[in-house]
Amino acid sequence: MKAIFLFLGLFFWAFIPPAHLAAQHHHRSSASQNSSSASDPSENLVSFAASQSNFSTLVAALRAADLVSTLQNGGPFTVFAPTDAAFAALPLGTLEELLRPENKAQLIKILTYHVVPGRIEASDLRNGQALTTVEGRVLKVQLNGKSVGLNQALVTRANLRTGNGVIHVIDRVLLPADR
């Protein structure tokens, strides 16, 4: 566990550029059609997520894991962001259990499994590509026509750009398998 915190601390300390671009707020059905072109220096990954009604659970989890500052100031990162509905689909009691202070290490593990270093647009993804997460494990990309999948999740909205990264909305919470 100390190794995870040390890695996260060193990793995030190395990336603190303040440049910012805002995310576009319109919705399209296909992940490959979504893109963002507006800019706003006040937006970062967390402020964008907090401004959206469908990420309140994600933001609460980031707060419980003490990852807000890192995702506000570090980067660039690519975040595969589960919606509130994705968190609600977890087995009954799972989310409440993860948000307990004594389970913070497990919550950090799950949240950092949704974050990849660098800024990766949907157009950069290739079928079969392996993305190494901040948590250290790999997400496998599956492309099927215009649909983008990661492990068991589907990207429902892509390329939401912020000053320190890009968000791709996913329909499931990704759970890393135990090593």
In tens, the pLDDT along 156-168 reads: 999 999 999 999 9
Per-position DSSP letters for 40-94, written without gaps between them:
-TT--HHHHHHHSGGGHHHHHHHHHTT-HHHHHHS--EEEEEE-HHHHHTSPTTH
In tens, the pLDDT along 72-125 reads: 998 899 999 999 999 999 999 999 999 999 999 999 999 999 999 999 999 999
Report the pLDDT value the prediction gives residue 42, as an integer from 0 to 100: 62
Rounded CA-CA distance 132/130 in Å is 6
In tens, the pLDDT along 13-34 reads: 333 232 222 232 233 334 434 4
In tens, the pLDDT along 129-157 reads: 999 999 999 999 999 988 999 998 999 99
Which is more confident, 109 or 38? Answer: 109
User: What are the residue boundaries of the structural domains of the chain, listed by start?
Assistant: 2-7+29-170
The dotted CATH code for 2-7+29-170 is 2.30.180.10
Report the pLDDT value the prediction gives residue 106, as an integer from 0 to 100: 97
Residue 66 confidence class, pLDDT cut points 50, 70, 90: very high
Report the pLDDT value the prediction gives residue 102, as an integer from 0 to 100: 97
134, 117 Cβ separation under 8 angstroms: yes
The residue behind tokens 């996913």 is 170
